[in-house]
Structure 1
Amino acid sequence: MDTDSSLSMDDMPMFFVGHHESKRSHPVTEQLLHHAQDLNYDMLTAPITNAHFQARVLTALSTYFTDLQSSPTKDLPLPLITPLSPADTLHAPNDSISQLLALTSPWIDLASPDPVIAHISRQVFTLEIAYAAFCGFGNVIVQGPKLHHGDLHGQGVAQYARAIQEALAIGQYINIQIMLPMTDDPNDESHDDVGNLSRFVRDEYVATSAQKGKSEVDTFGTWDAWNVVRTVCKYNQRVSVALTFPPNLPPAPVQRRWFSEPLRLLSFPATTFVKNKKGYWVLPIAHQMLLFRYMRLRTVPWILLTDVGPIPGVDDPDMIMTTGTGFLPQDAVTIPTHEPTPAEAAKAQPQKKPTDPTPHLSYMRHLQRNQPPKTQIERFGSGYQDYLQAPLQPLTDNLESITYEVFEKDPVKYEWYERAIEAALKDWAALKKPPSSPDGAVVVAVVGAGRGPLVTRALRASKNSGVRIQAWAVEKNPNAYVLLQRHNRDSWDGAVTVVKSDMRYWRGPHRGDGTHGHVDIIVSELLGSFADNELSPECLDGVQHVLNPTHGISIPQSYTAHLTPASAPKLHADVTTRSFTDSTAPETPHVVMLHAIDYLSTILPTNSNQNHPASPTGGSYAAAVRTGATSVPSDSSMLSPHIQQAWEFVHPVQPSILAQSQLRRGGSAAGGVGGATGGDGANEHNSRSSRTAFKCKNRGVCHGIAGYFESVLYAREGKDANGEKVELSTNPVTMDAKSRDMISWFPIWFPLKNPMYIPDDSEIFISMWRQTDDRKVWYEWMVESFVEVGGRKLRVAVTEVHTSRKAGCLM
């Protein structure tokens, strides 16, 4: 796989690769670290304590159990582990500490049901965390909770989580990575280490059934344990996951779930590698694709090569380098002082080319150089992934030029608008519709013209279609108005009439006799991330009075809002952090390039050849990026996120609706009793509501609602139309088919204040409202979950009604 030669390495994720031995044969000294760096490793793992400390702890435990047996009352104080001594650890504060990943003792059991084992484990853990913090370690790897003790399953996870919470307070600048396998397979739990404290759990604290057999794999079991840990730690951003890859990857839903979590380390044991036909150690193709996918996270995880063999050369004094310069020390070079003997000469003959001393590392560097190139969306969105932004308020704020410029970089949107305008002009001519201008030209008005890209496209569509137009550009932003006039002078040859006005108060094209005419085609780009969240309905209602009442066309003609529940722990952590300074953050819909998320509800596509999340190995890598596909296609990876329509707006609006709206404005008796949420109800026709259901096969946590839109810019008219439409879509299920690679809009995110746990085989209901009081528009939302028990649907959780009224969009 070759990268795009036009892309620099700066455009691709860097691989930071570390060496990890679960039972390192040599102490991690500064000399060993430099030697590893000379071999092209970036870092090493280093146990905080050593075998001497483990032996001391085991002795204390053994002594306690012996004393307990001989005690007549069986009532002894729990054993205490004395502070560390120089014999217990080799580490001390130094400059190289930052290049080491500290390891807490994997032989403790913080989740043990035996109170003695749990007590000793917690003491050991506390001592190690405190000393690591003192030495200046920035990152500490902690073995995940032991989930199986006899027939007990997951009973000690809360106890483990509490220990992690305490560790965060002890080491206030330490980042903790929880080492976890991708799935909970009880048959893989190691019992070989005779010094592991879990082996000393007393029988009265575990129940072991007489029937022995192979236990079932819980594919989401370790994720479930992780969810407890991070929930207890309140989504602290100093707690993340060190994920261990298995030889055989779990189903795609599990892979996608881990993608949404805060991955800091990816561990590749030697067992995940296989030899190819040439005898080189490589990763299977599915592992490669999953690695590439995980390396596209906004915070790129580090890689650990685990138990792939010791650091080469540590047992050979002639190979060990005393500095990290890459040069051999002077005393390693020997200079001959006499004529060599035949034996010495033979020994000095060139040997066979040595084999690669670090084949697994070399392969990782090979993958780094040969990553799939970033898609256009990835390159554009670099830095925006999972970054929350407040939605624009174009009616109340005058946008800066740079904001317009970002939108204008879209390679698709304006091309599609031009196609829509051209199709509308051709249909207008073919159907022989009478234009509104006295000279027979079709009147086209771009309302909310900004810096004028749609005006340029309208002029180009007129030229391509051969249909003459009279062009108008309406813009309220006084700064953009200056630029529009310059464009009209320098680029449009005076072919456009530029008007400074809020479109809602524009009286229409003025005539020489002082009257105002109609517009045949109104073109606007007022759509927001949820279709209507930037007040497109209100704006187009306000300008509809200038539209040709018989044949007038609005581009866009319609738009729909779509939504789905999603798990997004990183976004929840971000919203929680923002809430300390902004109380409205948990109830503000944010615009965000959704990336590290997991869709909780998935379905098989209705058309297997259309719009499903393709594998990154195929041509539609962009679809994989949007939907979270992480492996080669399989039955489960062909699933598509279940995204449903909430509501629709159509333009132009029926005149009778606008007439009733005008009647209500002012609060006359004929206008009714007023709006449900305040005001006279003049804008109540633009209120909407929906309640949608989503099946969730796998357990998870709902952190919020992902929102998208689809829009019909123009649907062809006439006998030869054949249902042709020019459409835009940010919906990841339909985007490839309708407007692939469009980058003007990111999705919208409706957060939940308190995440909702979703059981296996449950159903989520999302209630969404678009509310208005005639002065502003806001959204309200709530989520419920149900499970079926004995044929009855039982509600198991419900959120409060969230409202963005305080941060509503002003009209």
Structure 2
Amino acid sequence: MAHEYSGQDSDSSDDIRPAFHIGQHDSTRFETVTNTQYGQILNSGFRFVTTPITTTHFQERIAELFDDSLLRANSQQNVGSRIDPIVTPITPKDTTLFPEVYTSGFVGYASPWIDLCSPNHIVASISRQVLNLEVDYANFCGVRSIIVPGPREDSVQAGSGRGIAQYARAIREALLLGTRVNLIIHLPMYREPGLEEKVAQLSISDNTPDKLQSAKEIDIFTSWDSWHVIRTSLENTPGTAFQGSTDEMTNQAGHPSLGRPHQELIHAYMRLKHTPYFLLCDVGPELQDEPAVEQTIDTSSASQFPTLEDAAVVTQPAKSDRRVRGHNAYLAYLRHLERLQEPYTELELNTLTNFQDWLQSPLQPLSDNLESVTYEVFEGDPVKYNQYETAIEEALREWSELKKPTSSPDAVVIAVAGSGRGPLVTRALQASETTGIPVKVWAVEKNPNAYVYLLRQNQTVWGGRVTVVKTDMRAWKGPLISPPDAPAVHGKVDILVSELLGSFGDNELSPECLDGIQHVLAPDHGISIPSSYTAHVSPISTPRLFADIKNRREQGGDVNAFNTPWVVRLFALDFVAARAPDHGRFQLAWEFEHPLSQATMDTVAARRSGGVVGGGGGSMAGGVGANDHNARECHLTFVCKSRGVIHGLAGYFEAVLYESQIEENEDGNKPMVELSILPDMIDRKSKDMVSWFPIFFPLKVSYSSPISPPYFLVGRRQPLYFPSDSELEVTMWRQTDDAKVWYEWMVEAYRWVSEMERIKVGGSDLCRSRDVACLM
């Protein structure tokens, strides 16, 4: 059934949802809107409006200059010189835009008739000067954002990349003049026939857009190619507007309606910290200049119009702002979609949104003592601790059913290694109460400040049921079971519980820490929670993070910016790999299991005592190789159907907290209590868990300069480009020298040119985090 959408709001809910900032653009508008017209637009439900910066008088003046320059060029006999026309400054006849109270509520629209891509010097020069004059003048008037129409043809269509490079250079020059404005490049999402700019340019080449309509296939990535050239030329400065067809916004009955994929795309974009704007083109409202209307208009909100950066602030529009006066079907439909947005959760409002694409250095849990507020953030995730409590419950139940011996005569002995402020201790005690199985709990913590807190918790919350020990878990000798006056005798632990996992599973030295405390675990029947964990990677495109890291390196002086595995809540990204047989989008890098086998423990002890000569990375790096069993490496191949760029590797982990020892599923596998931050698994294994953000391994690509052999590497960093139908080969190492642990990684791009031949088309430098390694 066809529907028309009302602009009225439901008063039934006060839930806070993403706010849509919707603007209005009229391609036939040649003068700045009057106060009255601007008020009508605001009162119709729009939040902002575009305005031409110059008038038709200016266009006519430039056309005369263009014609005159062409005549002079055609009559010129000296081929060694060229005509260089000069565009004189803007005059009052050339514009109706002037500084006003409400000017900041306008989005300037640069003249669409200029041709920055033209191979003709006269056209290109005039176009560049016009853009500079308009940007400079709008900047003076107080306009905060300016839309610049993008190239009308892409490099593939034009047969040359010169025009796009020339366009990018012109934009970069304009940015030097627009010191207080955002420049927005207006590009179609892809070159769909019918979306071409209709305004005639100063000159029209033989490669007119009409030829595009006769093409049998549309390459949907040609616009992306242009955008990529422009953004990299501008040092990855964000700020691009993509246009979609309004024809796709109508259903069979002629009412506005978007398909499910478009709706999902909008929903995803509106969860961004920096939310996009919507711009409705040529869909009203009809404007009037009646004096009587002016008295009913409220333009007070004009001065409050936010910049694109300000739009990142999560705000909920007042109901009066979202009420449509004078029905506009497209605007009403977008407001309908706005009401369909999922409300922000409390966690999103207070924490998660602020962490989007925000780089954080990984924790150093062994070398640093964490502050209370850091522990508090961890403890704010109930999902993780519910899973841990479930794992402890299952372990206790099966312990009882299997009639396993205990390390204490009357209770199962549980040790929480790295207790922090004690959330896992609380969950262990609750699991005991739920199952009715008595336990003795030991809390082991090296942080002297957290130790004080644990002692207080034992007095006020746990009722003295916990024994608190201040020591590095690797130095703990186990539960003290001898009388106070007798020589010290230490017992064993039945269940060892820890939450030492990092974003990559092992990046906070969980393997090393659990190896160091394994000697206290009962050798025949002891259980480790977690029992295993795996690291996974996927190549991603994330221009925002790349620009941030590049700025840290070049402006902030952080020489290790490209060698640091950053913890970050990845949000504005694209997974470039396709789902292919035997080559998934997310692939397993390596795995760790606990407890270690006795043979491995014997080898470690022998190396520490000097009983083994040689070894792996540890011994060659100056150590004895006692931690070489925790070194890892992987070589993974990812299939990329479409061309693109890669800025780094996204890292994730999964963990098995406990695997049943007596039950089996219908498929013959044993039930498991798990944690996962893999995007395609988190909802199934640990839905809504937010304790861990992914880890990001950035890539650095240094290009060689062929000035004179031998070639040298240039320091300028760029992302790794790969063509369509490529394979990305990722090689990673987890390295150690017995004193610290670090990662090394690199990516190579290959393309098959025949059934038997594959060529390398690109590759990154070898990145290594040794200088920011995790200290043991």
| TM-score strictly above 0.5 | yes
- Aligned residue in 2 for 1:739: 686
Q: How far, CA to CA, are the matches of 2:139 and 2:30 in structure 1?
A: 25
- Does the 8 Å contact 1:152/1:207 carry over to 2? no
| Residue 107 of structure 1, aligned match among 99, 104, 113 | 113
Question: What are the superposed Cα offsets for residues 201-248 of structure 1, whole Å, 9 maximum, x if unpaired?
Answer: 4x6xx69999993353111111111010010111124xx11121224x
Distance 2:441 2:378 in 1: 22
The CA deviation at 1:28 is 2.4
CA 1:377/1:779 → structure 2, altered by over 3 Å: closer, same or farther?
farther
Q: For residue 26 of structure 1, report the CA deviation from its aligned partner.
A: 4.8
Q: 1:167 to 1:678 in 2, by over 3 A?
A: farther
Q: Tell whether 2:608 aligns with 1:665.
A: yes
The 8 Å contact of residues 72 and 83 in structure 2, kept in 1 or not, is answered as no
| Residues 1:588 and 2:558 are matched in the alignment | no
Instruction: Give 1:154 shift.
Output: 4.9
Please tell me whether residue 795 in structure 1 is matched to residue 746 in structure 2.
Answer: no
- 1:314-463 superposed matches below 5 A: 314-321=288-295, 324=298, 356-374=326-344, 378-379=348-349, 381-437=352-408, 439-463=409-433
Equivalent residue, structure 2, for 1:712: 656
Displacement of 1:598: 0.3
Q: Higher mean Cα deviation, 387-396 or 19-28? A: 19-28
* CA separation of 1:763 and 1:326: change in aligned 2, threshold 3 A: closer
CA distance in 1, matches of 2:664, 2:168: 66
Inter-partner Cα distance in structure 2 for 1:672 and 1:708? 29
Q: 1:750 aligns with which of 683, 686, 697?
A: 697
Distance 1:82 1:534, change over 3 A: same
**Structure 1's 561 and 148: CA in aligned 2 closer, same or farther, altered over 3 A?**
closer
* Structure-1 residue corresponding to 2:150: 144
Q: Deviations over 1:147-199 (max 9, x none)?
A: 16985365411111111111112222221100011112356424x43x42242
1:239-638 counterparts in 2 under 5 A? 240-247=239-246, 271-274=247-250, 281-309=256-284, 311-321=285-295, 324=298, 356-374=326-344, 378-379=348-349, 381-437=352-408, 439-512=409-482, 513=486, 514-579=488-553, 580-581=555-556, 582-603=558-579
For residues 589-639 of structure 1, the C-alpha deviation after alignment (integer angstroms, 9 at most, x for no partner) is: 111111111001121699xxxxxxxxxxxxxxxxxxxxxxxxxxxxxxxxx
Provide the C-alpha distance between the structure 2 equivalents of 1:227 and 1:702, rounded to a whole number of angstroms: 12
Secondary structure at 1:156 match in 2: helix
Is residue 193–residue 212 contact of structure 2 (8 Å, CA) maintained in 1?
no
Residue of structure 2 equivalent to 1:626: none
Answer with 741-750 or 128-137: which moved more.
128-137
- Look up the equivalent residue of 2:586 and give its one-letter code: I
Pair 1:397–1:210, CA change in 2 (3 A)? closer
Residue type of the partner of 1:745? W
The answer on whether the counterparts of 2:153 and 2:209 sit within 8 Å (CA) in structure 1 is: no
CA shift for structure 1 position 317: 4.4
CA spacing shift, 1:208–1:522, aligned 2, 3 Å: closer
Aligned residues: 717
Show CA shifts across 1:351-375 (max 9, x none): xxx9934343333334333422346
TM-superposed CA distance for 1:128, in Å, is 1.4
CA distance in structure 1 between the partners assigned to 2:184 and 2:295 by the alignment: 31
In the alignment, the residues of structure 2 paired with residue 476 and residue 6 of structure 1 have an alpha-carbon distance, to the nearest angstrom, of: 52
Amino acid at match of 2:427: R
Q: SS at 1:403's partner residue? A: helix
Q: Is residue 154–residue 223 contact of structure 2 (8 Å, CA) maintained in 1? A: no
User: Against the structure 1 CA distance between its residues 604 and 56, is the aligned structure 2 distance closer, same or farther, given a 3 Å change threshold?
Assistant: same
Counterpart amino acid of residue 17 in structure 2: M
1:680 aligned to which of 616, 619, 624: 624
What is the SS of the residue equivalent to 1:412? helix
Distance in 2 of aligned mates of 1:370 and 1:17? 16
Whether the 8 Å contact between 1:485 and 1:498 is mirrored in structure 2 is yes
Deviation at 1:658, TM superposition (A): 2.2
Alpha-carbon distance in structure 1 between the residues aligned to 2:9 and 2:468: 47
Structure 2 length as normaliser, TM-score?
A: 0.87
How far, CA to CA, are the matches of 1:315 and 1:746 in structure 2? 54
Q: Distance in 1 between matches of 2:635 and 2:493?
A: 38
Aligned to 1:173: 180
Q: CA RMSD in A?
A: 2.9
Amino acid corresponding to residue 233 of structure 2 in structure 1: V
CA drift of 1:695 comes to 0.1
Match of 2:586 among 643, 646, 665: 643
SS in 2 for 1:383: helix
Q: Which amino acid aligns with 2:330?
A: H
Change (3 A) 1:479 1:697: same
Greater alpha carbon shift after TM alignment, 465-474 vs 683-692: 465-474
Change (3 A) 1:545 1:535: same
Question: What is the distance in 2 between the residues matched to 1:324 and 1:415?
Answer: 52
Q: Which stretch shifts more, 505-514 or 23-32?
A: 23-32
For residues 732-782 of structure 1, give each alpha carbon's deviation from its aligned partner in whole angstroms, at most 9, with x where no partner exists.
Answer: 122122111111111111111231012100000111111111111111111
The answer for the alignment partner of 1:43 in structure 2 is 48
Q: Whole-Å Cα distance in 1 between the matches of residues 481 and 543 of structure 2? A: 58
In the TM superposition, what whole-angstrom CA distance separates every residue of 1:2-41 from its partner, at most 9, and x where no partner exists?
A: 99999745x3222222111112165323443233223332
- Is the Cα contact below 8 Å between 2:418 and 2:444 reproduced in 1? yes
Which amino acid in 1 is paired with 2:660? Answer: R
3-state DSSP of counterpart to 2:354 = coil
C-alpha distance in 1, partners of 2:18/2:210? 49
Say if 1:101 and 1:137, in contact at 8 Å, map to a contact too: yes
Mapped partners of 1:695, 1:603: distance in 2 = 8
Query: What 5-or-longer segments of structure 2 have no aligned partner?
Result: 302-323, 701-717
1:661 corresponds to which letter in structure 2? Answer: V
Question: How far has the Cα of 1:518 moved from its partner?
Answer: 0.7
Q: Secondary structure at the match of 2:343?
A: coil
Deviations 1:295-340 (A, max 9, x none): 221101122111102x43425444344863699xxxxxxxxxxxxx
Return the alpha-carbon distance in structure 1 between the equivalents of residues 664 and 65 of structure 2.
Answer: 89
Deviations 1:510-560 (A, max 9, x none): 112420011111000000000000000010010011111111111101111
SS of 2:619 mapped into structure 1: coil
Q: CA deviation at 1:726?
A: 0.9
- In structure 2, relative to structure 1, the CA distance for the partners of 1:151 and 1:104 (3 Å cut) is closer
Q: Which runs of 5+ in 1 are unaligned?
A: 248-270, 328-353, 607-639
Letter in 1 for 2:421: R
Report the CA distance between 1:78 and its aligned residue: 3.1
SS of structure 2 residue aligned to 1:297: coil
Provide the residue aligned with 2:738 in structure 1: 774
- Asked if the contact 1:3/1:371 (under 8 Å) is kept, the reply is no
Structure-2 residue corresponding to 1:613: none
Is the partner of 2:60 in helix, strand or coil? helix
- Label 1:8 to 1:641 Cα distance change in 2 as closer, same or farther (>3 A): farther
Over residues 367-402 of structure 1, what are the superposed CA-to-partner deviations in whole Å (9 max), with x where a residue is unaligned?
Answer: 333422346774552211111111111111111222
Work out whether 1:218 is the aligned partner of 2:225: no
Give the stretch that moved more between structures: 695-704 or 379-388: 379-388
Match of 1:689 among 633, 637, 649: 633
CA distance in 1, matches of 2:230, 2:378: 41
Distance in 2 (alpha carbons) for counterparts of 1:532 and 1:793: 34
Aligned partner letter, 2:404: K
Q: Secondary structure at the match of 2:719?
A: strand
Given that 1:599 and 1:641 are in contact with CA atoms closer than 8 Å, whether structure 2 keeps it comes out as no
2:33 aligned residue: 28
SS in 2 for 1:602: coil
Q: Secondary structure at the match of 1:737?
A: helix
Write the distance in 1 (CA, Å) between the matches of 2:211 and 2:413: 86
